[in-house]
């Protein structure tokens, strides 16, 4: 199975900051990498697919990059509603569809 490792596990930042979250795959997955946002008590929401494509309706301050084994999610200017937990997920090899362990983004 492909293992997905996110860093950091948690992150404190302020409104307006630029934030980057990293996801590393245990083997090359091309661009088969998705990012999700989850707020407390809510279901995850798809933000980015194919490493860098923005899902419809997602603000342009969210961006994704990378290919192979190393990927990043960047939020260019944090907004109050962006404080949440973010997960990466590989869709290169399934089953199983594996997720990273999550990165909790908190207000500083």
Longest C-alpha distance within the chain, in Å? 38
* Nearest distance, CB of residue 15 and another protein, angstroms: 26
Q: Is position 31 an interface residue for another protein (rule: CB under 8 A)? A: yes
Span of 15-23, 65-73, 74-82, 93-101 interacting with another protein by CB under 8 A = 93-101
The CA radius of gyration of the chain, in Å to the nearest whole number, is: 13
The residue among 44 and 66 lying less far from another protein, judged by its C-beta, is 44
Q: Which of 23, 34, 37, 82 binds another protein (CB under 8 A)?
A: 34
Query: Cα–Cα distance between 29 and 52 in angstroms, integer?
Result: 14
Q: Which of 2, 22, 24, 45 binds another protein (CB under 8 A)?
A: 45
Q: Are 85 and 21 in contact (CB under 8 A)?
A: no
Other C-beta atoms lying within 10 Å of the C-beta of residue 82: 20
Q: Are 58 and 47 in contact (CB under 8 A)?
A: yes
Query: Which residues contact another protein by CB under 8 A?
Result: 31-32, 34, 36, 42-46, 49-50, 53, 55, 87, 89, 91, 94-102
């Amino acid at each position: 199975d492909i293992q997905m490792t996110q860093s950091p596990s948690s992150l404190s930042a302020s409104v307006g900051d630029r934030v980057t979250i990293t996801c590393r795959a245990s083997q090359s997955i091309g661009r088969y990498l998705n990012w999700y946002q989850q707020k407390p008590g809510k279901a995850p929401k798809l933000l980015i697919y194919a490493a860098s494509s923005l899902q419809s309706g997602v603000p342009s301050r969210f961006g994704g990059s990378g290919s192979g084994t190393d990927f990043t999610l960047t939020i260019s200017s944090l907004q109050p509603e962006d404080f949440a937990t973010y997960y990466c997920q590989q869709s290169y090899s399934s089953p199983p569809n594996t997720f990273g362990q999550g990165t909790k983004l908190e207000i500083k």
